[in-house]
Chains A and B, each alone.
Chain A
């Protein structure tokens, strides 16, 4: 619902005087990550970055996945990767969302060395105080390295950010 204004009758009403009632939908549920993502997340918890490799076309994926996007074959092979790569695209966020990180922050698409997909993550190590200077740094080609979170729980945020080198 879009408004909580009250008119003189005590009802919440919109700009046209129609009654607006508040409906609250709280969605609390569990997502089973399954075999492949569980193994990937456990790797992060141990400060290890693992990708999966298609045995049919040799494409390597981070995050790991159990099927190949290119040839649709089942993937079973794993490879540990150095958590370094090259930034391919990024955005600096000045307007976040409720429950999200404090602005400004940067997120980017990283090509981890030796992989064929892009890995989305926070980008650190760049002063975001000056938007234009930060934009000029956060471009295709910037080398980045993972910085591990001090407390890890088997989640994507076990990597705190990929910092500019």
Chain B
């Protein structure tokens, strides 16, 4: 019988710099799984399948699922599914019916990498074009990154907070990006328990959070395959698809809280617009009016966002985990009062070619 998928448990480990992380990768994953199962009140033998995300070659390993899975203490014959779609692997995990079709026949290694373009430089093209098109100032970008660091002050799992000295935050990396707008490399793990609503509705210790819409989308792989860096065109297409599934008609009114994957702070403005929380070019005004603060009408990145904490794959699933906890009324960061419905996004690829979106709502709302 058809049943909704619900989030019934979330486990987040504190994020640190890799240097300050006392646990190995397998130990970290085990810790996150233990917390999530305990949170869900779910015994290990009730788990039917484990989906483990991995970015091949990101570390000196390939198909890390092979070593992570045995460390999780699962009963014999538990199904294990590795997902490796690069930067969106984390976002794909809760969107378990991954439907991404990647048309990727070009290698960036010979065409763009020799031109001095690393991830942060590619990421700088978007805010540069956005600033010029919509007359957005450097101060608008700095203020946004400061908002997120202040939010991170309240999130015990955050890595960078407002303790970051101003002089460091303002150091120019690649115009218009400054250090304070760029995510750190963090170490941490996140696990989530996804259940059939009918299987857990009678004895869940937490309010259940239904996944009411999810999807993924790809853009052309080389940077130059987009004609315009001032918008995330494919995200608008993804948003329409996912909103239709979830019955979202007016995103700004319908969502109570949003977590958008923003390794570079200015992406928050651009994604707010692509997700139709506001019109193109109007996100800075919405931010300055306070609408995206925790007590505003459309809070964005209350966790502090990816800009403050980016433990790779766990960073991609983090938006989903934080929204689920917000909707349970159990946010470890500041709680958005009465949050019933939320949006989580992740993206990957150095030119943000790949995106996932997940709409969630509290069951019974």
- The answer to whether the Cβ of A33 comes within 8 Å of any Cβ in the partner chain is yes
- The answer to whether the Cβ of A80 comes within 8 Å of any Cβ in the partner chain is no
- The answer to whether the Cβ of B142 comes within 8 Å of any Cβ in the partner chain is no
Interface size (B, Cβ < 8 Å)?
45
In Å, the complex CA distance between A135 and B178 comes to 14
In Å, the complex CA distance between A92 and B116 comes to 11
- The answer to whether the Cβ of A63 comes within 8 Å of any Cβ in the partner chain is yes
In Å, the complex CA distance between A3 and B177 comes to 27
Binds A, one of B46-54, B69-77, B218-226: B218-226
In Å, the complex CA distance between A3 and B107 comes to 31
| Cβ-defined partner of B132 (8 Å) among A16, A67, A105, A140 | A140
In Å, the complex CA distance between A89 and B132 comes to 9
In Å, the complex CA distance between A112 and B149 comes to 40
Check A118/B120 contact, CB under 8 A, given A14-B20, A91-B125, A94-B174: no
> Across the interface, which residues of B come within 8 angstroms of A95, CB to CB?
120, 171-174
- The answer to whether the Cβ of A157 comes within 8 Å of any Cβ in the partner chain is yes
- The answer to whether the Cβ of A109 comes within 8 Å of any Cβ in the partner chain is yes
In Å, the complex CA distance between A25 and B57 comes to 10
Contact present for A117 and B224 (CB under 8 Å): yes
| Cβ-defined partner of A91 (8 Å) among B107, B112, B171, B174 | B174
Contact present for B175 and A131 (CB under 8 Å): yes
Contact present for A122 and B21 (CB under 8 Å): no
Contact present for A16 and B105 (CB under 8 Å): no
Contact present for A31 and B128 (CB under 8 Å): no
In Å, the complex CA distance between A139 and B233 comes to 21
Contact present for A107 and B115 (CB under 8 Å): yes
Contact present for B174 and A3 (CB under 8 Å): no
In Å, the complex CA distance between A24 and B19 comes to 18
Check A121/B110 contact, CB under 8 A, given A16-B22, A116-B227: no
| Cβ-defined partner of A16 (8 Å) among B21, B60, B124 | B21
Contact present for B110 and A118 (CB under 8 Å): no
> Across the interface, which residues of A come within 8 angstroms of B177, CB to CB?
91
Contact present for A91 and B121 (CB under 8 Å): yes
Check A135/B175 contact, CB under 8 A, given A93-B121, A96-B118, A100-B118: yes
Contact present for A109 and B19 (CB under 8 Å): no
The residue in chain B whose Cβ has the minimal distance to the Cβ of A128 is B175
In Å, the complex CA distance between A69 and B353 comes to 13
Contact present for B125 and A67 (CB under 8 Å): no
> Across the interface, which residues of A come within 8 angstroms of B220, CB to CB?
69
Main secondary structure on A side of the interface with B: loop
In Å, the complex CA distance between A71 and B120 comes to 31
Contact with B along A121-165 (1 / 0, CB 8 A): 110000000010001000110000000000000011100000000
| Cβ-defined partner of A155 (8 Å) among B19, B114, B132 | B114
> Across the interface, which residues of A come within 8 angstroms of B105, CB to CB?
67
| Cβ-defined partner of A89 (8 Å) among B116, B117, B125 | B125
Contact present for A140 and B21 (CB under 8 Å): no
- The answer to whether the Cβ of A10 comes within 8 Å of any Cβ in the partner chain is no
- The answer to whether the Cβ of A88 comes within 8 Å of any Cβ in the partner chain is yes
> Across the interface, which residues of A come within 8 angstroms of B118, CB to CB?
96-97, 100
| Cβ-defined partner of B225 (8 Å) among A16, A94, A117, A156 | A117
- The answer to whether the Cβ of B129 comes within 8 Å of any Cβ in the partner chain is yes
| Cβ-defined partner of A63 (8 Å) among B21, B175, B222 | B222
In Å, the complex CA distance between A139 and B176 comes to 12
Contact present for B21 and A120 (CB under 8 Å): no
Contact present for A109 and B174 (CB under 8 Å): no
Contact present for B121 and A118 (CB under 8 Å): no
Contact present for B19 and A14 (CB under 8 Å): yes
Contact present for A120 and B110 (CB under 8 Å): no
Closest 8 CB pairs of A and B: A91-B124, A118-B224, A16-B22, A89-B129, A101-B116, A89-B229, A95-B173, A2-B18
Please give the residue numbers on chain B whose beta carbons come within 8 Å of chain A beta carbons, in ascending order. Answer: 17-22, 60, 105-107, 109-112, 114-118, 120-121, 124-126, 128-129, 132-133, 171-177, 220, 222-230
**22 pairs, A vs B, C-beta closer than 8 Å:** A2-B18, A17-B22, A63-B222, A88-B228, A88-B229, A89-B128, A89-B229, A91-B121, A91-B176, A95-B173, A95-B174, A97-B118, A107-B121, A109-B229, A111-B227, A120-B115, A120-B222, A122-B116, A131-B175, A135-B176, A140-B129, A156-B112
